[in-house]
Amino acid sequence: MTNKKKATIKDIANVLNISPAAVSKALHDDSRISTKTKEAVKKVAKDLNYQPNHLASALRKGKSHLVGVIVPRTNSNFFSSVIQNIEEVLNKEGYNIIITQSNESYKKECNNIDTLLFTQVDGIIASMANETIDLEYYKKVKSKGIPLILFDRGENDLNVDYIGINDYDSSHMIVEHLVKQGCKRIAHIGGYKHTRIFNNRIRGYVDALKKYDLPLDNELLIESSLTIKDGREKMLQLLSLKNRPDAVYVAGDYAALGALQILNEQHINMPKDMALVGFGNEPFTSMVTPTISSINQHSAEIGKLAAKTFLEHAKKATIKQSLNKIILDAELIVRDSSSIIKK
């Protein structure tokens, strides 16, 4: 039990007086090894508390069976749920994952990529930092010939697989919902335009306004970092307008929360005087008062699909990156902050 030195294949071989090669094959149920030997090997392996040395086999086979995951942060429900599902799918196939956080910083992201490559991961599943514009570093991954799968952030920016939701349609759903509630002036606190998903949400918002013949007022369309703090500031900005909106669609739940705080502090009635819709369906949206309507991004499915996409690449030796772009339909969860018309 308290064997300091770890048992190796060689130790097993010595006990049974057979070659290490035979032991290796026995442990892998090779058809050319007799059942008798296999049983003996497995018994001794157990007795010696043998644990295969992953490093050695990975080195020999040229596969680490590790997959790198890069997310902006793990303490958002969306990302942690995606991660959990990636892990679940990959663990079943004998892969482990290494999770790294970029904290929305491009520099940290580059660092993460380097350490992942250094650790010889077999693939990388990533969602880009807000800051990331330069894609050189991601090209480095591609040039190494290991699969790269993006989710949520990064659609189309590189020519790789992507899993995400339909941001453009989501905006349409939200605007349509607000119009049905009787809103006439709908504002949008959006993310940075250079991030494709946020740009898509903005385009969806603009096009939906046109569709419903609503005013497209430049004052009502604001770019934001989507933090709580910035949500507060941008909400104040909207309230200071001569012609206030009667609804705000915020492209992120944290910023929506900031907006809600301001509205509560100023005793502005939600949803009557101001309807509010967020994006992401973070758990707190149903915890605060009033509860915030939001878009469910199908985090579990995104995680599972990202993992499966990686596995497809891993299985076929040919590294032909056949673009696998999966766009899921999102779902609008209507809560108190935008339920003007009760059923």
Question: Residue numbers of the site for a copy of itself (CB under 8 A)?
Answer: 1-4, 6, 51-56, 58-59, 64, 66, 73-77, 80-81, 83-84, 87, 91, 96-101, 103, 111, 115, 117-120, 143-145, 228, 257, 261, 264, 284, 287-289
- Residue 22 in tokens: 């035979």
56 contacts DNA (rule: CB under 7 A): yes
Which residue, 32 or 46, has its beta carbon nearer to a copy of itself?
Answer: 46
- Angstrom distance (rounded) from CA 334 to CA 236: 24
Task: Name the minimum Å distance from CB 30 to DNA.
Answer: 8
* Contact pick of 2, 3, 31, 240 for DNA (by CB under 7 A): 31
Reference 159, options 168, 148, 151; nearest CA is 148
61 contacts DNA (rule: CB under 7 A): yes
For residues 140 and 147, the answer to whether their CB atoms sit within 8 Å is no
Which residue, 209 or 250, has its beta carbon nearer to a copy of itself?
Answer: 250
- Residue located via tokens 């591609």: 142
Size of the site for DNA (CB under 7 A): 29
- Angstrom distance (rounded) from CA 310 to CA 295: 26
37 contacts DNA (rule: CB under 7 A): yes
Region binding DNA by CB under 7 A among candidate stretches 19-27, 111-119, 219-227, 254-262: 19-27
For residues 161 and 324, the answer to whether their CB atoms sit within 8 Å is yes
- Choose the contact partner of 9 out of DNA, a copy of itself, none; CB within 5 to 8 A by kind: DNA
**CA contacts within 13 A on the Cβ side of 188:** 29
Which residue, 66 or 163, has its beta carbon nearer to a copy of itself?
Answer: 66
- Chain mean position to CA 76: 10
- Residue 69 in tokens: 């995951």
Q: Helix or strand or coil: residue 334?
A: coil
Question: Taking phi first (over 0 means left), then psi (-120 to 50 degrees means alpha), and beta for anything else, what does residue 55 get?
Answer: alpha
Task: Name the minimum Å distance from CB 57 to DNA.
Answer: 3
For residues 135 and 103, the answer to whether their CB atoms sit within 8 Å is no
Which residue, 136 or 213, has its beta carbon nearer to a copy of itself?
Answer: 136
Task: Name the minimum Å distance from CB 70 to a copy of itself.
Answer: 12
Contact residues toward DNA (CB under 7 A) are 6, 8-10, 17-22, 24-25, 27-28, 31-34, 36-37, 50, 52-53, 56-57, 59-62
